[in-house]
Chains A and B, each alone.
Chain A
Amino acid sequence: MRRSPALPVFALACLALALTLPAQQVRTPARPAIAAHLPTDEIQVTADYHGTRLLIYGTVPRDCDVIVKLSSPRVTTTYSQKGRVGIFWFSIGKVTFENVPWMFKVKSTRPIDKILYVEDQIKYRVGMRGLVESIKVPPETPPILVDELIQTRIEDQLYSFHEGDVKRVKGNMFETSFFWPPKAHPGTYHIDSIAVRNGKVVSIDSEQVKVEKIGVEAWVSGLAVRHGFVYGLVAVIVAMFAGLMVGLIFRGMGPGRKKGAQAVH
């Protein structure tokens, strides 16, 4: 029995082709993957900004559950810890948290514990557990401080965990929305739409949204941070000008004089 020389050559060719293929295609071959769509990839912060809500929708296999996660890059952040000193509450120390996203929101079709194994929650950093496990603190830090950190962020609408807020539409569609509060920093935000089946992640679609300050808002906050002295001078000149204008307007209106002059006569 002789083997055809064509077979190993063919196999090698296949392997070479597979290696050159983009990684994504290899991971999710035949099945239709999850695909999300955002109405925009840019949020503009203007002078009257008071938060933005973005609708996210997409397609997903009918038999999958969906988890949608919004997160910003992870950074190191320092907080002061308060404690009672005498009768008042002073800062009694500092706590440094590593690997903390400024914003972190997770929504899902059903409770995450029911649709995704704990190992995958931690691996893909979803849900409250995924977040808590990924934040690093110095070893002697009491765990309650991590809860405190998350609570303050939840109150500022920077973090949220809503199970059941992803809706299924027409069988293979899903939709949800995320709110960027006024405290959302400019920068790049990642939105991961995760399809889950039998407790495991099947497919992920990652999109990005950029938050940018524009117009007067961008100019003012940029100047305030980078050129404090110039900003201070501008603030004083604007205030003096405004003060003089107001004085002139009211001087023209009847007998009333500016309050300072009033006190003398």
Chain B
Amino acid sequence: MTIFLPVAGISINVFLLIGVGAMVGFLSGVFGVGGGFLLTPLLIMLGIEPMVAAASDANQIVAASTSGAFAHYKEGNVDVKMGLFMLVGGVVGGGIGTFLIKILKQTGNVDVVIRICYVVLLALVGAIMLIESLTRPVSDETASKGDSWLDRVMIRLPFSTRFETSGVTTSAMSPILLGIMVGILAAIMGVGGGFLLIPTMTYLLRMPMRVVVGTSLFQMLFTAGATTVMQATVNHNVDIFLAISLLIGSSIGAQIGVRVGRHLSGRQLKIFLAILVLGLCVKMFLDLLMRPAHILAQMGGH
């Protein structure tokens, strides 16, 4: 069954989209990672404009994180105060990212910049995963030694604030800055930013694991939501049909992934995912080196 994507401006088999969504959802269910960083590059490979892929992916993340964020909120696993500080940063970052896209669009370089960002991101994520899966997991002592240069910088930041739910005291600037980074990434690349949020909240802000997942989902939901609205307003690049097709696939895939993941050994799977991510990265990099099929590209897309 073919569906015409009104904003992307192409017609595509809807089962292909659901299938891609399901595959990425399955992986995110098995590994407990968000799928944004896999979904956007796959959509680009299907022929969807990078900025439409990223913006629609942000919309899809809203759907993917709603249920989890709500469940965690009910169980009291969300540090609302911390989440709100991050959200302020997230909205600012999303706005910065949205305007960066607008400027890049005008110069005709939005596609190549998004692709380059992805090559860097996939290389980092893939390498970290591969190293993590090949070496012993980091023990708690090494993780909480707390004398890195980042720790020393953070102690000096002003506006020290107490976050009751997490039981930590830190500068209000840390969650805001973290939010800004995640917001920029959400707008430019259409990722939720879990790969950045979870380690930072765990190792840097020292929040308990229980609160980390809930709070990151909470902030992801609203940052992705705000970014979707800003992208739709400024760049008109959110395709709702695309987002819904992906959502159907990814939610089914994630449920299967969670069930399957319990019966599989983590290490081999993680190596497999790392190789997949690195493979995507190499493919995108090689595509960038090749002479484009056409040296002319329509400005503004539509």
Contacts and interface: CB of A to CB of B under 8 A. Distances in A.
A50 B11 contact: yes
Contact of B255 (A45, A89, A236, A250): A250
Contact of B232 (A149, A155, A231): A231
A228 B232 contact: yes
Interface string B82-116: 00000000000000000000000001110010001
B228 A232 contact: yes
B66 A260 contact: no
A232 B231 contact: yes
Interface residues of B, number: 72
> Do most interface residues of chain B lie in helix, strand or loop, or is the interface mixed?
helix
B241 A47 contact: yes
Contact of A48 (B4, B116, B292): B4
Interface stretch (B55-63, B120-128, B172-180): B55-63
Contact of B229 (A84, A151, A152, A236): A236
A21 B293 CA distance: 54
Contacts of B166: none
Given A48-B3, A244-B66, A264-B77, A88 B116 contact: yes
B295 interface: yes
Interface stretch (B36-44, B135-143, B243-251): B243-251
Interface string A216-245: 010011001100110111111011101110
Interface residues of A, number: 63
A220 B63 contact: no
B46 to A, nearest CB: 14
A183 interface: yes
B294 A238 contact: no
A112 to B, nearest CB: 26
Interface string B64-87: 111111111001010000000000
A235 B296 contact: no
B150 interface: no
B50 interface: no
The 9 closest A-B pairs by CB, nearest first: A247-B67, A260-B68, A80-B108, A232-B232, A243-B66, A91-B108, A232-B229, A243-B63, A239-B63
25 contacts: A50-B4, A79-B297, A83-B295, A84-B291, A88-B288, A89-B288, A89-B291, A89-B292, A91-B108, A148-B294, A152-B294, A224-B236, A225-B236, A228-B236, A231-B232, A231-B240, A236-B59, A236-B225, A236-B229, A239-B247, A240-B225, A243-B64, A258-B67, A260-B217, A264-B214
Given A88-B289, A260-B217, 16 more contacts: A84-B291, A152-B298, A182-B9, A182-B10, A220-B7, A224-B232, A228-B233, A232-B231, A238-B240, A239-B228, A242-B247, A244-B66, A246-B248, A247-B66, A256-B255, A262-B32
